[in-house]
Amino acid sequence: MAFKDFRDYLKLLDEEGQLKRIEVPFNVELGTNELQPLMRYLAERDGPALILQNLEGYNTPDIPLVFNPFGTRERTAMTIGCRDPLETKTKHAKTLADESVWLDPNLVNRDDAPCKDVVIEKADIALDKQLPHVWFGKEGASYITGGLGITKDPETGERNVGCYRVGQFWKASHPTGGSYSEERQTKQLLVFAFWNPPASHIGFHLAKAVRMGKPLEVAFACQCDPAIHMAAATGVPFGHDEFRFAGGLRGAPVDLVKCDTVDLEVPATAEFVIEGVFLPDQEETIGWHSNPVGYYDPVQVFPMMEVTRITHRKNPLWYATMEMIPPFDHNYIALLPVEGEVLSDLQRKIPEVKDVVVTPNMTYIVQLSVDGAAKPHAEFGKYVLHAVWGAAGRWGRTAKIVIVVGPDVDPYDMNSIEWAIATRVQPYSDTIINQSGQAMVLDPSAIKGHHGFPVTSEQMGIDATIKVPERFSEYQEVSMADPADVAKIADKLKGVLD
């Protein structure tokens, strides 16, 4: 059954003992905050989701802070009604591949939209008081990390919904020693829209609008039903509606409501909605920013957004997270759409592909259902490597390291993958180096452009399948205990080694 909203998802976590309300004080201020070490502590233990209710230096103490709600593969699977990782991504992949099961969103009246409970007019906007601000680690700005960015193509009117970080300027430290005006701090936001050159769908919309000399309207819906966030994180083909895809994942249409100051629609049960207009001629510098590959970006340049209205629910919730050396809270809700997107494309043309696992460090593992003599043809592993880089969507082509393994290799276990590489790979013969790949935009090892992100990258593919018939007619038998026998021993020793 679909969740009505973010709160419905938290209710399930609470019922299952995976949500804790915490009164212990934690500091969230610039320079002295404790949220980065708290996230590391939870990530290392597959810790529960938290609602933090006693925050020092928090500008909106009446708004509880939700922390670590997606911190395990199981909780991520629960967002779309599953538990097992492969079951979850298979559901995601099949839904993505079959647009006939997508569901058109349902437009509701504002009286039926909780996100309209409280309205803040443009003249009354004061972002320092009306939006929560928390800092992580050495980040120089407080970032909005739970928002879905919604725009429309200025030529076709087709909608895009994506997960885009937003920078706030109140109390922010300027990375090059400058300062931010009062208007920046209280009326405007910065959007991580990679648009020059475009590297995301919101970037394509903004680039088009700039060429046409038109403003681009935008709305950010914060803390929605997690299935909508998952759909927004997926590389749905350009021009296709993520809200329709979310309806397919949920098994029920997404309820939308019209915005008040821009011609856009947002999820009716969002906790917060921020409406506005891009000011692409007013780019701003921001930093530091901690990124998902585990480094701080010291300086980045992005377009500005003027806020025209804020609405929110009564007694709203706020969600905050940070990216750092993986793992971290939203690793898996970010990775599962990548896995599902690539799996969906590969299985349409290569039925021998069983699973795609993307590690928190963005290494792509493709598991086949066959190996050795059962492979359809020689060099089948290399064929799969090229298929990943040529996959539809926006993620496969950015895969910096891809490894193909057989069915006896656990794609979730790096020890198993390392064993396959050590015993089934010759470094020259079984490796492909692509010198002209598309970069993952936050890779610090590739050369960066004006906006602080790279465009091109080198890539490596490793064929860790058994080389029959490529080099051998047969391969040595694997020595491994039968899992059923291991289970018997575990049962035998139950209570003895505890």
According to DSSP, residue 152 is labeled E
Residue 1 domain flag: no
Query: Last residue of a domain, which of 301, 319, 337?
Result: 319
Residue 26 domain flag: no
Do the beta carbons of residue 48 and residue 20 sit within 8 Å? yes
Instruction: Count CA atoms within 13 Å of residue 161 on its CB side.
Output: 27
Residue 299 domain flag: yes
CATH code, domain with 243: 2.30.110.10
| CA–CA separation, 253 and 101 (whole Å) | 11
In this structure, are 357 and 315 located in the same domain?
Answer: no
In this structure, are 381 and 314 located in the same domain?
Answer: no
Residue 355 domain flag: yes
| CA–CA separation, 316 and 368 (whole Å) | 45
Phi, psi (deg, nearest 5) at residue 54: -145, 85
Q: For residue range 22-31, what is the model confidence (pLDDT) as tens digits? A: 999 999 999 9
Q: For residue range 288-298, what is the model confidence (pLDDT) as tens digits? A: 999 988 999 99
Tell me if the bond preceding 195 is cis, omega within 30° of 0.
no
Amino acid 399: pLDDT: 96
Query: Last residue of a domain, which of 298, 319, 340?
Result: 319
In this structure, are 237 and 364 located in the same domain?
Answer: no
According to DSSP, residue 65 is labeled E
Q: For residue range 467-497, what is the model confidence (pLDDT) as tens digits? A: 999 999 999 999 999 889 999 998 998 888 7
In this structure, are 226 and 170 located in the same domain?
Answer: yes
| CA–CA separation, 11 and 411 (whole Å) | 32
In this structure, are 308 and 442 located in the same domain?
Answer: no
Q: How many domains does the chain have?
A: 2
Amino acid 447: pLDDT: 86
* Helices (H), ranges, 167-299: 182-187, 201-212, 226-233, 242-250
Contacts of 199 (CB under 8 A, 6+ apart): 441, 453, 455
In this structure, are 360 and 429 located in the same domain?
Answer: yes
Amino acid 161: pLDDT: 97
Q: For residue range 124-176, what is the model confidence (pLDDT) as tens digits? A: 999 999 999 999 999 999 999 999 999 999 999 999 999 999 999 999 999 99
Asked whether residue 4 carries a pLDDT value surpassing 90, the answer given is yes
User: Would you state the structure tokens that stand for residue 349, as one six-digit string?
Assistant: 């043309």
Amino acid 2: pLDDT: 84
Residue 171 domain flag: yes
Q: Which residues of 259-285 are buried (b: 16+ CB within 10 A; e: fewer)?
A: bbebebbbbbbbbbbbbbbbbbeebbe
Amino acid 498: pLDDT: 67
Mean pLDDT of the chain: 94
The average pLDDT across 230-252 equals 94
CATH code, domain with 363: 3.40.1670.10
In this structure, are 169 and 233 located in the same domain?
Answer: yes
Amino acid 1: pLDDT: 61
In this structure, are 259 and 180 located in the same domain?
Answer: yes
Q: For residue range 257-288, what is the model confidence (pLDDT) as tens digits? A: 999 999 999 999 999 999 999 987 889 999 99
In this structure, are 385 and 474 located in the same domain?
Answer: yes
Asked whether residue 57 carries a pLDDT value surpassing 80, the answer given is yes
Percent of the chain with pLDDT over 70: 99
Domain enclosing residue 474, as ranges: 350-483
Q: For residue range 423-456, what is the model confidence (pLDDT) as tens digits? A: 999 999 999 999 999 998 888 898 887 666 788 8
Amino acid 353: pLDDT: 98
Asked whether residue 99 carries a pLDDT value surpassing 90, the answer given is yes
In this structure, are 185 and 305 located in the same domain?
Answer: yes
Residue tagged 């995976």 (tokens): 18
Query: Last residue of a domain, which of 265, 299, 319?
Result: 319
Q: For residue range 304-362, what is the model confidence (pLDDT) as tens digits? A: 999 999 999 999 999 999 999 998 999 899 999 999 999 999 999 999 999 999 999 99
Asked whether residue 95 carries a pLDDT value surpassing 70, the answer given is yes
Percent of the chain with pLDDT over 90: 87
Residue 10 domain flag: no
In this structure, are 358 and 308 located in the same domain?
Answer: no
Amino acid 195: pLDDT: 83
In this structure, are 314 and 355 located in the same domain?
Answer: no
Residue 71 domain flag: no
Q: For residue range 35-48, what is the model confidence (pLDDT) as tens digits? A: 999 999 999 999 99
State the amino acid at position 106 in one-letter form. N
Residue 392 domain flag: yes
